[in-house]
């Protein structure tokens, strides 16, 4: 297959179009591709060559950023399969999830020190893992992109909350 700038991330990286991926393989492949296309390889070869190399190099980095992060990879797959995430217009979440969110927020507000925050982080870690497992199942086994998109949105909530917890931890560290 001949690759071009419009090839999908998976085609470009020579990976099967699925959610479950081997992170080491993605990293290795990224470096292999950059080795061929990075503008530094053509530094002595003039402006036109540089421009083309830069386009490829940018495209490879773009794909890499998307493939290596499970949440971005999932969102990309949903989009490829006709169920874009469009998080900004689509904030409806199941009630149970929202209740859980509210409980976490309260726990963060009430957290007194490192120990409380650590416990909250552990809880978040478990929730993140479960969401990723559900996404994997929905995308790779049940081919239900719409349901997967819902889970991706939930995961985005969790990630955002995780950043708040991290910010509190940093405050404590100082």
Partner 1 sequence: MALLQISEPGHSPDPHQRRIAVGIDLGTTHSLVAAVRNGVAECLPDGDGRVILPSVVRYLENGGRQIGYAAQAAQAEDPENAIASVKRFMGRGLADIVNREKMPYRFLDKPGMVALQTCAGEKSPVEISAEILVTLRYRAEDTFSADLYGAVITVPAYFDEAQRQATKDAAQLAGINVLRLINEPTAAAIAYGLDNASEGIYAVYDLGGGTFDISILRLTKGVFEVIATGGDSALGGDDYDRALADWMLAKAGMQATGASAKASIKMAARVVKEKLSASDIVTTPIELAGARAAISVRRGDFEAITVDLTARTMSAVRKALRDARLSRDEVKGVVLVGGSTRMPQIQRAVAEFFGREPLTNLNPDEVVAIGAAIQANQLAGNNAAGDLLLLDVIPLSLGIETMGGLVERIVPRNETIPTAKAQDFTTYQDGQTALALHVVQGERDLVQDCRSLARFELRGIPPMVAGAARIRVTFTVDADGLLSVSAKEQTSGVEARIDVKPSYGLSDEQIARMLQESFTTAEQDMKARALAEAQVDAQRMLLATQTALDADGGLLGADERAHIESLMQQLRQIAAASHDAGAIEAATQALAKGTESFAAERMNHSIQMALSGKNVETI
Using CB under 8 A, list all residues that contact partner 1: 1-4, 12, 14, 27, 29, 31-49, 51-54, 56-58, 61-62, 64-65, 170
CA distance 146 to 103: 27
Q: Which tokens in the block code for residue 40?
A: 């530094």
Task: State in angstroms the smallest separation of the CB of 98 from partner 1.
Answer: 26
CA distance 29 to 45: 25
Q: Give the residue with the Cβ less far from partner 1, 48 or 95.
A: 48
Q: Give the residue with the Cβ less far from partner 1, 36 or 103.
A: 36
CB contact set of 21 (below 8 Å; sequence gap of 6+): 15, 67, 73
Query: Residues 54, 171: contact at Cβ < 8 Å?
Result: no
Q: Which tokens in the block code for residue 135?
A: 């996404």
Task: State in angstroms the smallest separation of the CB of 72 from partner 1.
Answer: 12
Q: Give the residue with the Cβ less far from partner 1, 57 or 151.
A: 57
CA distance 155 to 15: 24
Q: Give the residue with the Cβ less far from partner 1, 15 or 93.
A: 15
Classify burial at 145, counting beta carbons within 10 Å of its beta carbon; exposed 0-12, middle 13-18, buried 19 or more.
buried
Q: Which tokens in the block code for residue 104?
A: 């976490």
Task: State in angstroms the smallest separation of the CB of 37 from partner 1.
Answer: 5
Task: State in angstroms the smallest separation of the CB of 154 from partner 1.
Answer: 22
Q: Give the residue with the Cβ less far from partner 1, 33 or 152.
A: 33
Task: State in angstroms the smallest separation of the CB of 169 from partner 1.
Answer: 9
């Amino acid at each position: 297959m001949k690759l071009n700038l419009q090839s999908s991330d998976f085609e470009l990286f020579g990976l099967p179009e699925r959610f479950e991926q081997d992170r080491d393989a993605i990293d290795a492949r990224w470096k292999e591709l950059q080795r061929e296309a990075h503008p530094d390889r053509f530094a002595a070869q003039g402006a036109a060559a540089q421009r083309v190399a830069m386009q490829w190099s940018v495209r490879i980095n773009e794909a890499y950023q998307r493939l290596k992060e499970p949440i971005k990879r999932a969102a990309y797959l949903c989009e490829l399969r006709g169920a874009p995430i469009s998080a900004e217009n689509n904030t409806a979440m199941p009630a149970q999830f929202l209740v859980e969110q509210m409980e976490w927020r309260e726990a963060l507000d009430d957290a007194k020190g490192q120990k409380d925050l650590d416990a909250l982080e552990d809880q978040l870690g478990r929730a993140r893992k479960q969401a990723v497992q559900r996404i994997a199942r929905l995308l790779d086994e049940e081919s239900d992109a719409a349901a997967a998109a819902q889970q991706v949105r939930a995961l985005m909530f969790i990630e955002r909350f995780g950043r708040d917890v991290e910010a509190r931890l940093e405050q404590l560290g100082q």
